[in-house]
Amino acid sequence: MLTRDIHSNKETVMVALYDLKESIMLAKKDKDKLLCLIVGYGSKGKNHKIKTAVIEELNKYLESKFIKGYVFGSDIDIFNPSYQKFPYRDKIPDNDKRMRNPGAIYIAV
């Protein structure tokens, strides 16, 4: 699983979206099935803009079949329907499942 942090260096939304696409393409190139994208919680103003833009972009990627799905770290729960539908949920490391990080998004590439 490839992990990329796109919020820690005070990136702009435009840079974050570029990093998102590059990260997905890198994961596909490396034949990784899963990408963990750290976008932050959205609690400090700017991160909220990045997280919102990333989610909008992921929905576009999902429609165009560029990705196979995504799930928020906070949704990792065996009773959560979005987690149950997520392909490759078995590839999420156990430690990540226990943390349920609300600032992470797991993307099936």
**Mean pLDDT computed over 80-108:** 90
Which distant-in-sequence residues (6+ apart) come within 8 Å of 16 by Cβ? 6, 7, 39, 50, 53, 54
Residue 30 has pLDDT above 60, yes or no: yes
**Mean pLDDT computed over 4-33:** 89
Q: How confident is the model at residue 48 (pLDDT cuts 50, 70, 90)?
A: confident
CA distance 42 to 79: 25
Residue 96: per-residue pLDDT:
85
**pLDDT > 90 fraction of the chain, expressed in percent and rounded:** 60
CA dist 92 → 69, 77, 95 (Å) = 13, 12, 8
